[in-house]
Structure 1
Amino acid sequence: MNLRLNYRVVNDPAYQAMMAMEKFAGSRSGDKVLYELLKIRVSQINGCSFCLDMHAKDLLKLGDYSDHILLLSVWREVPLFTEKERAVLELAEAVTLISQEGVPQPLYEKLREHVSEEEYVDLIIAINTINSWNRIAISTGMYPGCFE
């Protein structure tokens, strides 16, 4: 593995803009566990090893969520996740793969059973933020431990 460049050093204003988005998204999430699950699931879809590693470790700092991490890619097939978590994970997948079918109305309605309109927008911002981080990490060749 070779890190192509350290974008943080090469373009600090771009890094600071992303950090501002991350701080906003993080400050809006009342459920830190769900926020990390969302980031892990999006990173799985995008194939971002750097973000997968980081957010799995961040989730483990919040408690013993090893089963959640291990079974996240098959969340539809296990009873481990709550209905709200399932709705958020489905939204994360839909927004990440937006060109496939958008966000279907039934998914929006299912999500609205668990979150307000404002929280829905917060989730979209969080999903878009981790998608941006994934794309930066993959484009610059980041991998777990590349900055150590």
Structure 2
Amino acid sequence: MIIDIPEGKDPIGYVWGEMVPGIGTAAAGFSLAVYEHTTLGLREFEAARLRIAQINGCLFCQDWRTEKDGQKVEDAFADAVTQWRTTDSLDDRARLAAEYAERYALDHHNLDDEFFTRMFAHYSQVEVVELSMCIGSWLAFGRLNRVLGLDAVCVLPSHLSAQ
């Protein structure tokens, strides 16, 4: 981690909440809103989120699994997302979500009419805007956590109970 954290402070809480409270608190609110207010299905949501986590290299984000209505994606889902071009494990919406996330992060200048024609065959305009905002959140905040080294000190609640 490249940021000095005072003894006894939670790294995420300190960096996001105490170091830059005006920005960090707003960023945290946006980050939480993506999860609390999504209308997207779990598989397309997780396909896009995991693809961004893989691109960012955020350890915490790659380990996290979103729960929606008491459900989580299967353990092999992350591998399917990595192989979104060739896997049979993703439906069209999840495959497009993974592709969109990858292109949004790595090649956004080439998101062309052909891509959006395919996208709008499976997603409404509202869903594309929502997915775009989600991807933007994950790209920015997952990358911030990775760059600052916070991803290595975040611990999932399920991992705390195992310790």
- Normalising by the residue count of structure 2, what TM-score does the alignment of the two structures yield? 0.76
Secondary structure of 1:77's partner? coil
Paired with 2:73 and 2:41, the residues of 1 have a C-alpha distance of 16
The equivalent of 1:67 in structure 2 is 76
Q: How does 1:1-148 map to 2 (within 5 A)?
A: 2=1, 4-5=3-4, 6=11, 7-8=15-16, 9-26=18-35, 27-54=37-64, 57-58=65-66, 62-63=71-72, 65-98=74-107, 101-146=109-154
Shift, 1:52, TM fit: 1.2
2:8 — aligned with what? none
On the 8 A contact 2:58/2:142 being kept in 1, the answer is yes
1: CA distance, partners of 2:34 / 2:123? 16
Q: What amino acid is aligned across from residue 4 of structure 1 in structure 2?
A: I
Relative contact order (C-alpha < 8 Å, sep 6+): which is higher? 1
**1:127 aligned counterpart, secondary structure:** helix
Count how many residue pairs are aligned between Structure 1 and Structure 2. 144
Please say if residues 38 and 127 of structure 1, whose CA atoms lie closer than 8 Å, have aligned partners that are also in contact: yes
- Give yes or no for contact 2:48–2:100 (8 Å, CA) kept in 1: no
Q: CA RMSD in A?
A: 2.4
Change (3 A) 1:90 1:64: closer
Instruction: Answer yes or no: is the 8 Å Cα contact 1:28–1:122 preserved in 2.
Output: yes
Identify the structure with the greater helix proportion: 1
Structure 2, unmatched stretches of 5+, are 5-10
TM-score with structure 1 length normalisation? 0.82
| Partner Cα separation in structure 2 for residue 69 and residue 85 of structure 1 | 12
Q: Distance in 2 between matches of 1:12 and 1:70?
A: 37
